[in-house]
Amino acid sequence: MRAYKSKVVAPIRLPDREERAANLERAGYNAFELDSADVFVDLLTDSGTGTMSQDQWAAMMRGDEAYAGSESFDELEAAVSDVMGFDRILPAHQGRGAENVLYGALVSEGDYVPNNTHFDTTRAHIANAGAEPVDCPVEGALSGDRTFAGNLDVGKVRDLADDVGADRIPAIVVTITNNSLAGQPVSVENLRAARDAADDLDATLVVDACRFAENAYFVREREPEFADASIAEIAREQLSYADAVVMSGKKDGLVNVGGFVGLRPGDDDLFERARERAILYEGFTTYGGMAGRDVAAMAVGLREAVESSYLDDRIGQVRRLGDMLADRDVPVVRPTGGHAVYVDAGAFLPEIPAERFPGQALVCELYREGGVRAVELGSLAFPDTDRPELVRLALPRRTYGADHLEHVAETFGAVAERRDAGEISGLEIVDEPEMAELRHFSASLRPVA
Ligand code: F0G
């Protein structure tokens, strides 16, 4: 049940069928090229797309826009300390800005950086620093026990150290929840094991904490030790094992923009190196690329993100959408993760081979049938890998209601009917950018029989 009511509304409109077909064609069958005004239910991302509370909007009005020593910074510093347990922060314009600040200070040419699974921008920043990002998910994570399918395979990290030498591993990263692995959670037990490995290898343990509150919710539900703990307690406990956090406030900061690096008081060398980079790339250390008002809103958002009533609604919505789709025989990854429902498009559209992009075909059909925007995370987004053909339906925070979810489920029903009638074709690329890693953002495609 929603623990809030609407106070400000934004109108949305479902264009008619002919318009939707024309919009798709004009967008080159690429959902990133659609105008948001033409989208009815927008599940492209949960990043920066949520709704702020009245307390956050009130804080915006009080935002202190001073270049240095802003009061809003003090509020953020206090919130990060209370909610996440990190007493030193360097604000950044968003998560990838924080990644640039931290990884540039921590990682050097020729290093290796293991992570349960690197998110795209994390991978890119580590590669940009001259190091090799290494994914260490649990073997068969999505086919085995899914209690904590997002976990880091700590054994793989230790094997990597045996292969390349511990001195080549400056950092171990754990991403909570594991966005690239269907938003699945990581256990506190796993974070403790990662801590032990970091101690043994003399590495810095970094947590990518974008969705730390959602992760804490799953820990309370699934890790018996924490059954009676509050989300706020778990949120702090799970981060207490880390030496540093990188944060995109656009997720569990409940804001539309912003981020930060969190560090421990002891590590002065790392803090100094990161601080220099923060000033160079983001801005002075009390605003880091954000307006003071955005800093103020994030200070409030972080506290709201660990309220049980908020998370009951949030995780409940994702779960409900997953159940509604599963009831219609849509193959979804279950149990669902924290921020999105992931659909196996390869299984949903078995007639379309990988080279004809079944995930992207499903994305296009969801728009054609219901004005729903999702994102492909299969062979279009990750060329030359053998990942499953997933489509992600990410739910913006505090934004859509049960009727919107119902609309998404009905849209899947309409797509299934077209599939059964043999009306859905695959796609081929007409035009793509030079960097293959970025092609899903700007490639244009066309249907092919
Ligand atoms: N780390 C993770 C795990 C993320 O999911 C993201 C962003 C980032 C870092 C980068 O943060 O966008 O603020 O620069 N994920 C968004 C998504 C874009 O749609 O999953 P950012």
Query: Nearest 5°: phi and psi at 341?
Result: -105, 130
pTM for the predicted model, two decimal places: 0.97
- Give the chain's domains with CATH numbers: 17-39+307-448 (3.90.1150.10), 54-305 (3.40.640.10)
User: Distance, CA 208 to ligand 1 centroid (Å)?
Assistant: 10
**Residue of 33, 120, 43, 39 lying closest to 444 (CA atoms):** 33
For 331, other C-beta atoms within 10 Å of its C-beta total 15
In this structure, the residues whose C-beta lies within 6 A of any atom of ligand 1 are 45, 47, 94-96, 119, 121-122, 175, 179, 208, 210, 248, 250, 259
User: Burial of 10 by CB count in 10 Å (0-12 exposed, 13-18 middle, 19+ buried)?
Assistant: exposed
Distance in angstroms between the alpha carbons of the first and the last residue of the chain: 44
CA distance 91 to 259: 6
Residue nearest atom 15 of ligand 1, based on CA coordinates: 47
Ligand 1 geometric centre to CA of 424 (Å)? 31
**C-alpha to C-alpha distances, 143 to 146, 149, 333, 334, 337, nearest whole angstrom:** 8, 9, 9, 10, 14
| Ligand 1 center to 195 CA (angstroms) | 24
Report how many helices (DSSP H) and strands (DSSP E) the chain contains, helices first. 16, 14
Gap between the Cα atoms of 412 and 180, Å rounded: 23
Cis? peptide before 175, omega within 30° of 0: no
Please give the number of the atom of ligand 1 that sits closest to the Cα of 178.
Answer: 3
Query: For a substitution probing ligand 1, which of 32, 42, 44, 96 has the most ligand atoms within 8 Å of its CB?
Result: 96
Expressed in angstroms and rounded, the spacing between residue 131 Cα and the centre of ligand 1 is: 20
At residue 207, the 3 state secondary structure works out as strand
Nearest alpha carbon to residue 43 among 438, 399, 412: 399
Q: What is the pLDDT along the chain (449 residues), one digit of tens a residue?
A: 888 999 999 999 999 999 999 999 999 999 999 999 999 999 999 999 999 999 999 999 999 999 999 999 999 999 999 999 999 999 999 999 999 999 999 999 999 999 999 998 999 999 999 999 999 999 887 777 789 999 999 999 999 999 999 999 999 999 999 999 999 999 999 999 999 999 999 999 999 999 999 999 999 999 999 999 999 999 999 999 999 999 999 999 999 999 999 999 988 999 999 999 999 999 999 999 999 999 999 999 999 999 999 999 999 999 999 999 999 999 999 999 999 999 999 999 999 999 999 999 999 999 999 999 999 999 999 887 778 899 999 999 999 999 999 999 999 999 999 999 999 999 999 998 887 777 889 999 999 97
**Using CA positions, which residue lies closest to atom 1 of ligand 1?**
119
Q: Ligand 1, atom 9: nearest CA belongs to which residue?
A: 95
The C-alpha atoms of residue 134 and residue 156 are separated, in whole angstroms, by 10
From the CA of 46, how far away is ligand 1's center (Å)?
9
Whole-number Å distance, alpha carbon 418 to ligand 1 midpoint, is 33
